[in-house]
Copies of this chain bind each other. A is one copy, B any other.
């Protein structure tokens, strides 16, 4: 057992967030002198003989571990999912086509706002009048003519809801999966693009993975700058500009960790187990803890709940920290409590949290 284990806290941050300890220790060991080459990987050219194979291995692992079909490639870009919000319409739309958006909360509202400058887009469904407490059925989504893609957010990190299944639609889906990257199996045939920042399930902040169907590359808009062009980036192995070497290196290590731990199917099982423990605790608390999301639509990554009063929430957060349960404060937009439990969160962390929640309820309920 590592000397770091004893002091380690349980970090429920929404992202950047907890990473596997063994990945951190491996990175630390290699940081200054990479494989006795006399320099750090941080100092090496992205075009050199050391990094290029790391990049290629990371690309292949990211595709194969998630079961992406041969027609998909994955790009490693910068700017986060937020950078993709304008890039999607910029690349996919022309003067006659439109983008549809399924509004499930904060991150789709943001995407709508950012995408409006790059093409003709519209809202095909909104959960706003139901306080964003669920995702829609396929039959509720109203697509207009000439719709090129449907944007959805598979899991709303702030709201704490997710699509339990992806809708059946006649047009390809573009999915923001920032908080569910390699955390659940997905029906690839429905998607043209799947993107997300690494800083939740895959590594540190600073790199964005964009899975893209290769057969659409030829039809994308070519009158855009290299850095923003999926076709240019794909043709240049994501090196139209200098890539974030360190972040990709760490994603490589996290992917290896994921592989050693059973892959996406095992991650999905663990996520179900972890989130069920928390939702069972919430639902069994006789209303002391309340989750605002409809049962079937609850996130397995971000468990959102409230306590009876703001004063109790403050006390909850303070006492949780004393038990090494950190960063449980809900997003400032919605308040309350949020436990983000991504791939690298140990089951023990969730058990400790549940135990603390029961104690806290018994003392204050």
Contact = CB atoms under 8 A, between A and B. Distances in A.
Q: What is the count of identical protomers in the complex?
A: 2
Contacts of A25: 32
B28 A43 contact: no
Main secondary structure of the interface of A (DSSP, over half): loop
A241 B82 contact: yes
B38 A8 contact: yes
Nearest to A228: B86
A86 B86 CA distance: 13
A24 B31 CA distance: 7
Given A45-B14, A48-B13, A117-B223, A38 B7 contact: yes
Contact of A28 (B31, B45, B197): B31
Given A7-B36, A24-B40, A42-B204, A15 B242 contact: yes
A15 B80 CA distance: 23
A83 B246 contact: no
A219 B342 CA distance: 42
A347 interface: no
Given A78-B78, A206-B246, A241 B83 contact: yes
* Listed residue (A25, A80, A83) with the most chain B CB atoms within 10 angstroms of its CB: A83
Interface in A1-16: 4, 7-9, 11, 13-16
Given A18-B39, A33-B4, A240-B82, A13 B45 contact: yes
Given A16-B45, A46-B16, A227-B80, A205 B242 contact: yes
Contacts of A357: none
Interface in A69-106: 78-83, 85-86
B8 A39 contact: yes
A16 B42 contact: yes
Interface string A21-34: 10011011001110
A234 to B, nearest CB: 16
B241 A80 contact: yes
A335 B204 CA distance: 36
A45 B245 contact: no
A244 interface: yes
A339 B262 CA distance: 46
A231 interface: no
A85 B232 CA distance: 15
26 contacts: A7-B38, A8-B38, A16-B43, A18-B43, A19-B42, A21-B32, A38-B326, A42-B204, A46-B205, A78-B80, A78-B244, A79-B83, A79-B241, A82-B241, A82-B242, A86-B225, A113-B225, A113-B226, A114-B226, A115-B225, A117-B224, A117-B225, A204-B244, A205-B244, A205-B245, A244-B244
Interface of A: 4, 7-9, 11, 13-19, 21, 24-25, 27-28, 31-33, 36-40, 42-46, 48, 78-83, 85-86, 110, 113-115, 117-118, 197, 199, 204-207, 223-228, 240-247, 250, 324, 326-327
8 residue pairs, one from A and one from B, having the closest CB atoms: A206-B244, A82-B241, A9-B38, A78-B78, A114-B225, A80-B241, A86-B225, A28-B31
